[in-house]
Structure 1
Amino acid sequence: MEEKRNKKKHCTAIVLSAGQGKRMGAPIQKQYIEIQGRPIIYYSLHVFEESNIIDDMILVVGHGQEDYVYDEIVRKYGFSKVRAIVPGGKERYDSVWNGLKIIRNGALCAKAGDGYVFIHDGARPFVDEVILERAYDTVSRHRACVAGMPSKDTVKIVDEDGYAVNTPERKYVWNVQTPQVFETKLITEAYSRMMRKESIQVTDDAMAVELEMQVPVKLFEGSYMNIKITTPEDLETARSFLKKRSLVKVNSTL
């Protein structure tokens, strides 16, 4: 175990917090809505801060929110692993690229460029150390991997008029989550190639690696609790999860 720990590669988490969250219908961005007295983004940052896997973090936030995030989140809660706070872009891939450029330009330690990048949505507060450990083990063997869980529901492929045209076998259908984890050089080169194109049509980071680098992406188990908070209903689910977690902690100390 000690030998394995000494050989561990540098791991940087890029946490995306620049989304508008229009479906939430709240006056502030969803990642800053408080649950049990703390903003949603606090919970994933806390996990990364305490993690033995993650060495440093880059926060990608909305334009003009850098000072607010530093004062009200990073400094307030003592997140010492946050090395940079950068503005996001128009699309998700623009925000990821802004984070990757921090590593590419050498703003972090020298080891960061030869390590792994964990790209995570700030609106997913229930990532945990077990997921991070699975991610590290998988990326170290496969170069590129994505958290996800097998779909609980039957999925239909439809045509433009909404008619079902195909029903894939459920055992082959996974719901993709974050973190999405890659060799730093691999994901940086994939994005570098992609961002030079006039038209970009990717919905996650794995697609960039698949299309630009022709490298297969391995899925590993995340958690059914690792939800992305997008709607008011998700917010209620998150509150329920946190309440159950608090009860477990209380009972474990009795």
Structure 2
Amino acid sequence: MVSAIIVAGGKGKRMGTVQSKQYINLNGKPILYYTIKNFLKNDLIDKVILVVPSNEIEYCKRKILEPNLLKIDKIVAGGKERYDSVYNGLIEAQGSEIVLIHDGVRPFASEKIIEDAIKHAKMYGAAAPGVTPKDTIKIKDEDNFSSHTPKRSKLVAVQTPQAFRFDMIYDCHKKIREKGVLITDDTMVVEYFGNKVYLYEGEYNNIKITTPEDLIIAEYLVSK
């Protein structure tokens, strides 16, 4: 069984809105609608689990899921930190062979990206899509001076969905919670315990909507 966990716990701080960013409309539909739809329509996904803040569960059901006929398998409450939310989703995904973990505000994950995630997770245990940064990246020192410039060809801007063999990611998430290590990404969880993550080709369209500028791009992509 292949499960997808969509983590939608973001707020609107960088977006400059009171409303949580996953509920902002794109062409008349909330961002989260497009995200969920991509996984529901994929035949390789057996189970879709949505994780939202506990105080938004009823709102999400009444305003996002029911009006748009989005029949997911489970909606669960998130936790204080992102890794708490992912762990709550993993509990509901028990029994899966492969699990995909995806950002709720990444509404343009293509069918190919999703299917490649599953394929590579089965082959390597852990996989994530990524793209080469378009800009030159600098490493700065503590005084804000450039210390060196890594080769752009060696750099990858990692996206989601990130896919894992369920037993690996569940075990690593349990252990990292006990250690109290701060992580910002699920690939970091498995890497912390010595597992390698296969990086496959992502897509520049697979953007994460975080700022007002991202919304402009997203409106264009939706119109296409």
Same fold (TM > 0.5): yes
Matches within 5 A, 1:53-92: 53-80=44-71, 82-92=72-82
Q: Percent identity?
A: 43
* Partner residue in 2 for 1:249: none
Unaligned runs of 5+ in 2: none
Helix, strand or coil for the counterpart of 1:135? helix
Q: TM-score, normalised by structure 2?
A: 0.96
Which of 124, 127, 150 is the matching residue for 1:145?
A: 127
* Partner residue in 2 for 1:98: 88
Deviation at 1:115, TM superposition (A): 1.0
Runs of 4+ with deviation above 3 angstroms: none
Q: TM-score, normalised by structure 1?
A: 0.85
Q: What letter corresponds to residue 46 of structure 2 in structure 1?
A: D
Q: Once the two structures are superposed, what CA deviation does each residue of 1:180-201 show, in whole Å capped at 9, x if it has no partner?
A: 110011000000000112x322
Q: What letter corresponds to residue 224 of structure 1 in structure 2?
A: Y
* Partner residue in 1 for 2:173: 191
Instruction: Say if 1:18 and 1:87, in contact at 8 Å, map to a contact too.
Output: no
1:27 maps to 2:21: no
More helix by share: 1
Distance change in 2, residues 1:40/1:208 (3 Å): same
* Partner residue in 2 for 1:211: 192
Aligned residues: CA RMSD: 1.1
Deviation at 1:99, TM superposition (A): 0.8
* Partner residue in 2 for 1:252: none
Deviation at 1:37, TM superposition (A): 0.4
Instruction: Say if 2:117 and 2:129, in contact at 8 Å, map to a contact too.
Output: yes
* Partner residue in 1 for 2:221: 241
Instruction: Say if 2:3 and 2:98, in contact at 8 Å, map to a contact too.
Output: yes
Identify which range, 133-142 or 119-128, moves more after superposition. 133-142
Deviation at 1:167, TM superposition (A): 1.2
1:15 maps to 2:6: yes
Unaligned runs of 5+ in 1: 1-9, 105-112, 246-254
Q: What letter corresponds to residue 150 of structure 2 in structure 1?
A: P
Helix, strand or coil for the counterpart of 1:77? coil
d(CA) in 2 for partners of 1:193, 1:53:
29
d(CA) in 2 for partners of 1:84, 1:36:
26
1:50 maps to 2:41: yes
Helix, strand or coil for the counterpart of 1:76? coil
d(CA) in 1 for partners of 2:67, 2:2:
24
Helix, strand or coil for the counterpart of 2:54? coil
Helix, strand or coil for the counterpart of 2:7? strand
* Partner residue in 2 for 1:230: 210
Select the structure of larger CA radius of gyration: 1
User: Number of paired residues?
Assistant: 224
d(CA) in 2 for partners of 1:49, 1:114:
16
* Partner residue in 1 for 2:143: 161
